[in-house]
Amino acid sequence: FFAYGIGQMVNGFLGDRIDPKKMILIGIGVSAVANACMGLAGGFLVMALIWGINGYFQSMIWAPIIRIFAEMLNENNKINCSVNISSSGVVGTLLSYLLSAILIARLHWKFVFFVASILLFLVAIVFWFGFQSVLTFSNRNLEAKGDETRVEKEQIKKQAEQRTDFKTILFCSEILFIMIPIIIHGVLKDGVTAWVPTYISSSFGLAPSFSILITTVLPIVNLAGAYVGWAIYRRMKENIAKSNMVFFVGSLASLILLLVFGRVSVILTVALLAIITSSMMAVNTLSISVYPLRFEKDGRVSSVSGFLNAMAYIGTAISTFAIGLIVKYRGWEVTIITWLVMTVIASAICFMAVKKLEVSKISKVTNNKEERNEK
């Protein structure tokens, strides 16, 4: 997670300068080699190094994909694709659980990595030839729609090539306001999910294998969060801070119920955890997939997506270690209270961001009126 987060930061910026097709291909290819090496490696340090390399090169994939959507598709299609791509992560997660379980039961754990390596090489081949076909089709489609569409895309591309300075974007948009909530969302989305089987097993005395089986429900429910997130985002007139605040408040209510009724029923517990993680999936989809699309004309789609994704994985990386330590020394009740406090902080920051942006808009309107009156 640390390697992936750092990679998102670096490769997000590179993704606006380098051909995204080549970046994705390199990412998949090196990840395939890293997986093969994991199956051959021995010793913790060597495996940790290889898996860190895998994490870094995997980070070459996401932000360039969002840039491809922004540049190749029209307004409606690029947003729909950015929301729908969330399903690929859910399908991949579920298939990895199933495939890993079968390979470990029938063969040996090393085959998990060998098979993953083969699959990644196949994906690289399919991507290379498939993308070329899509590119040809896209160009024909633009020609069929006439000069107006093609000229509009070319103008946006020329404008994007100039690239607005990232510092300007950072201080003149909502990014600084949503940065800390994004880190906290990483804690709740991936950090909580990673520890759910342990929590269920220790709270209800269930077998670890059964707890893991119950946990596979979460990715499926999380997928609904992506589509609910997009609906709320439109309802909030594409205000990212206000949309995120809705989902943090929803998670806050679920955490309070979990703290009070968490040991009453395993079904209730899983349902509350599913609300929390699906709410954070909504925040993830809006902040990392949809929101960066608005920076296409600035030539910073990949940079913004990579930067915010890096913030999310800082939260994930920290929480993976921190949650374990809190559980070990303070227990689950203190752990849930910690999540609750963090969610309150995220909700408060989003609320302040909404108010600040509203004041900023009012002052801009007032200044414009004054300028017109002076003229």
Question: What number of other Cβ atoms are within 10 A of residue 185's Cβ?
Answer: 32
Average pLDDT, the chain: 83
Burial status of residue 133 (CB atoms within 10 A of its CB: 0-12, 13-18, 19 or more)? exposed
Cα(341)–Cα(322) distance, integer angstroms: 15
The confidence score (pLDDT) of residue 366 equals: 39
Cα(77)–Cα(64) distance, integer angstroms: 17
**In the 8-state DSSP scheme, what is residue 191?**
I
Give the helix/strand (H/E) hosting 299.
Answer: none
**Phi/psi at 262 (nearest 5 deg)?**
-60, -25
Beta-strand ranges (E) seen in the chain are: none
Cα(336)–Cα(357) distance, integer angstroms: 31
Task: Work out whether the CA dihedral 36, 108, 89, 185 comes out positive or negative.
Answer: negative
The confidence score (pLDDT) of residue 343 equals: 94
The confidence score (pLDDT) of residue 200 equals: 83
The confidence score (pLDDT) of residue 337 equals: 92
Question: What number of other Cβ atoms are within 10 A of residue 223's Cβ?
Answer: 19
Cα(176)–Cα(328) distance, integer angstroms: 34
The confidence score (pLDDT) of residue 177 equals: 82
The confidence score (pLDDT) of residue 279 equals: 92
Q: Which one, of 243, 197, 199, 232, lies nearest residue 218 by Cα?
A: 197
Number of H helices, E strands in the chain: 17, 0
Residues in the chain: 375
Q: Which one, of 285, 203, 209, lies nearest residue 244 by Cα?
A: 285
Where are the domains positioned within the chain?
2-368
First to last CA, the chain: 56
- The verdict on domain 2-368 having CATH code 1.20.1250.20 is yes
Could you say which residues of the chain have pLDDT below 70?
137-163, 209, 357-375
User: Burial letters for 330-355: b for 16+ Cβ neighbours within 10 Å, e otherwise?
Assistant: eebeebbebbbebbeebbebbeebbe
Cα(69)–Cα(80) distance, integer angstroms: 10
Q: Which amino acid appears at position 90 of this protein?
A: V
Cα(291)–Cα(52) distance, integer angstroms: 28
* pTM (2 d.p.): 0.80
